Chain A
Amino acid sequence: MNTVIVKYNAGNVQSVLYALERVGFTKDILLTDDPETIKNADKVIFPGVGHAASAMAYLKQKGLDQLLPTLTQPFLGICLGMQLMCSHSQEGDTACLGIFEEKVLGFKSETLKIPQIGWNQITDLKTPLFDKVPEQSYIYLVHGYYAAVGQHTIARTEYIQPYSSALHKDNFYGVQFHPEKSAAVGEQILYNFMTNI
């Protein structure tokens, strides 16, 4: 089995590689932006931290904006990766990949700090991605934009209002939090993606 981590101009992929290593996946993990290699991978991880508009521009330049929504193997977007899988992001008024119909909106609050930084909880957990993950588990998040709750929501978190902390449709999964930084809970979720999905 080979796993590809999509390389683009957004974020810290080293932490994802290390986390996979900690849960026992040390071999056949490739970091690439080559469309053919991505197409032929058994699993695809799409991480990301950064700005939606510049990330989408990079994906377009590489032709990945066309490829990614057509993939059929298990696919996991993380943080900005998940947001880019939605239809549109308010961040830079950016048209995204459209895998999920949900829209990405900016947090607005008079009292709470934006972006949300730290540990919050996930509830209403669905799909085998969350096997052995208890309701109300804590996960680590850093984000100023969120996907609203919709038909593809498989986990919710509450900050200012309830939002989607994970989405699922067919072979596509996305998580708003950082499983690679979410202690044992995050490692379980990565392990689940690698073994159950």
Chain B
Amino acid sequence: MTANPWTRCCERLEREIPLEEFNTWIRPLRCETADGKGIRLLAPNDFVREHVAAHHLERVRDLFAHFGYARASVELTVGQSPPGPTVSTTRQPANRPPTGLDSRYVFENFVLGKSNELACAATRQVAQNPGKIYNPLLLYGGTGLGKTHLLHAAGNLIHQANSEVRIQYMHSERFVSEMIQALRRDGIDRFKRRYRSVDALMIDDIQFFAGKDRTQEEFFHTFNALLEAQQQIILTCDRYPKEVEGLEARLRSRFGWGLTVAIEPPDFETRVAILQSKAADRGIEIGDEVAFMIAKRMRSNVRDLEGALNSLIANSHFSGRPINLEFVQETLKDLLTVHDRLITIENIQKTVAEYYKLRVNDMLSRRRTRSIARPRQMAMALAKNLTEHSLPEIGEAFGGRDHTTVLHACRKIDELCDSDNRLREDQVRLIRELTT
């Protein structure tokens, strides 16, 4: 039996060019017709097509000529045919533009805790009454805390209540790139019409609009048009929008017209609940001690918890071992090491000193002025909460202080965080910085 000419061509090329180059450029090509009449090679995208055309096509034509095909009959184009098995995607009704929503994210599988309950409640209310209560709704907070989940959940709830409502979810970068393409192709009016005609617009990570003046200009007008027509806008940002440098003042001010809600890193109990809920979604049960152990060591965000859980499930599935403490320690060893690496007393002192614009030596000194004492107390409290060190060890590391001083610092910071929002904000930021 004669082998397919493309297979024979590949066998030759594989010997002629480095393997990684072969894998990157030649292997993804598909040969559509090799029936004696002509050859059509399909590249997955324009960039691959251009590269192959510039670097390999002549040689490919030589080889096909060697196998009896006319050089001119070898054509290289972009295409996806013949179809192979593909991954399933969220289906959209045929006559409607895609909403960008992921149906897996709903309010029912959003794990609530002290850190996110306000954001969740506000988003749900908005989704139940789009355009009528808080407009715009802006959720802000660090990465991996559930902002995107809430955006999709809101969109899905709006869609569930009325499938005729036109919803658009997108990441800010897609908004920017679609606008640039529209400008290039002279299609900006169509772009404007499209975004100004939706009933609910959800844009993720608007901090990426910073410094992009043309995008901000267009978004500003879209924003006004939607707001005037009482169409709902929900946005997310990784920090309080007024702190995003490079964002126009008029946009910042408009973002504050509706409701701005913070979403904070989950506390220990919420982290445990998230782990158990996500495990249950996968049909796995994990014991309390395992959930406690992971939640204690991984504090920064929900994605890390999810990644750790996925790793445990995959490893347990194919090794046949139960997910117990020993298995967790073994499987997540290097991951936990990466997490622990940053959280040393020394690094906490350095990070806190930089945050408050002090020198580390000031914090270790005997000086008791408030501008130094408060950061010192903050650093001690963080060391107690984020490391396994004992109170005497922490005291020793802070210039040989007594353990009762550390205990007092921890209590003082806890007490102040309840009454002083600014200090609470400092603490959240420092924890984020130290744990991501």
Tell me whether A and B are bound partners: no
Q: Which residues of B contact A (CB under 8 A)?
A: none
